[in-house]
Amino acid sequence: MMDYQFSHRLRVRYSEIDGQKVVYNSHYLTYIDVAVTEYFEQVLSQEEASRFDYVLLKLR
């Protein structure tokens, strides 16, 4: 099994938090979208990336 690591730093903006400095739940999907996009940009070439689109189909 091959191990790999990926990380992407994202700064939480003031408008994404409540008065107690907790991130509103609705912003987590945006964070996931950004992380997935950055991951694919890192691991795929431009040609590979142009062959498909990814979609978040379901979230529980």
For residue 57, is it within any domain?
Answer: no
For residue 8, is it within any domain?
Answer: no
Q: Is the pLDDT of residue 56 over 90?
A: no
pTM for the model: 0.71
Give how many domains the chain has, as a whole number. Answer: 1
Phi, psi of 14, deg, nearest 5: -55, -40
The answer to whether the CB of 8 falls within 8 A of the CB of 39 is yes
For residue 59, is it within any domain?
Answer: no
3-state SS, one letter per residue, for the chain? CCCCCCCCCCCCCHHHECCCCCECHHHHHHHHHHHHHHHHHHHCCHHHHCCCCCCCCCCC
| 21 vs 58, higher pLDDT | 21
Question: How do residues 26-39 score in pLDDT, each as one tens digit?
Answer: 899 899 889 888 88
With cut-offs at 50, 70 and 90, classify the pLDDT of residue 1: low
Range of the domain at 32: 17-49
With cut-offs at 50, 70 and 90, classify the pLDDT of residue 55: confident
For residue 4, is it within any domain?
Answer: no
For residue 5, is it within any domain?
Answer: no
